[in-house]
Amino acid sequence: MAIEIWETLKEAITVYTGLSPVTFFTVLALSLAFYHAVFGLFGSSSSSTANHHQNHRSIDEEVEPLLPPVQLGEITEDELKQYDGSDKKKPLLMAIKGQIYDVSQSRMFYGPGGPYALFAGKDASRALAKMSFEDKDLTGDISGLGPFELEALQDWEYKFMSKYVKVGTIKKDAPNAPSVGEPSEPAKVTDSEASKQEDAPTEKPTTETIETSSPGDADKKDE
């Protein structure tokens, strides 16, 4: 029965297509292979495009739009620590040589998880000059640095000045000294010192000394 069906099918292929059964099935196989190749190419491309748009949309949803820089004026180093990126509602700030800059646009570098995250919320002048990541160098103290380190720090400052907006300065603790033109308080004298000054004898020229001394006595001494 199967042989009769196969013979009938071969005759039909030859009659309707004009091709031999072998040629017909070869063309059919090549057509199916071509179809699967084209479908796989365009199907994967469209799915990749869809995935790309979906990923791009998810990234846009995660990254919040940058807020315009807010001028803070003069703040202390403790207040600057609040802007280290831990609070996404606050700008990301960093200071160089006492000048504070808004580095929010480079959150991927200075924000949490970034390669320079430990510099955020601090004046890291010394660390930048020495290219150090040690805690002892995370300070604005640049005393004792060499000429090459100071030059490197200057390059960092130029970079920040050209790329970021300055939003404030770090308040320095002023020493407790009287200002120019301000009278200083007189030194306080203790009770014991006052009593000693009162008890100390004072030498005053007596009238006898004044009266007995005369110009003639000076002349006699000269002779």
- Tell me which residue of 77, 74, 111 sits closest to 91, measured CA to CA: 111
pTM for the model: 0.53
Structure tokens given for 211: 């009266």
For residues 76 and 140, the answer to whether their CB atoms sit within 8 Å is: no
- Tell me which residue of 113, 104, 68 sits closest to 83, measured CA to CA: 104
Report the alpha-carbon distance of residue 167 to residue 177 in Å, rounded. Answer: 29
* Amino acid letter, residue 43: G
Task: Mention every residue, 6+ apart, whose C-beta is less than 8 A from residue 171.
Answer: 74, 75, 76
Give residue 172's pLDDT. Answer: 80
The ranges of the chain with pLDDT < 70 are: 1-19, 21, 24-25, 27-28, 30, 34-64, 174-223
Give residue 1's pLDDT. Answer: 63
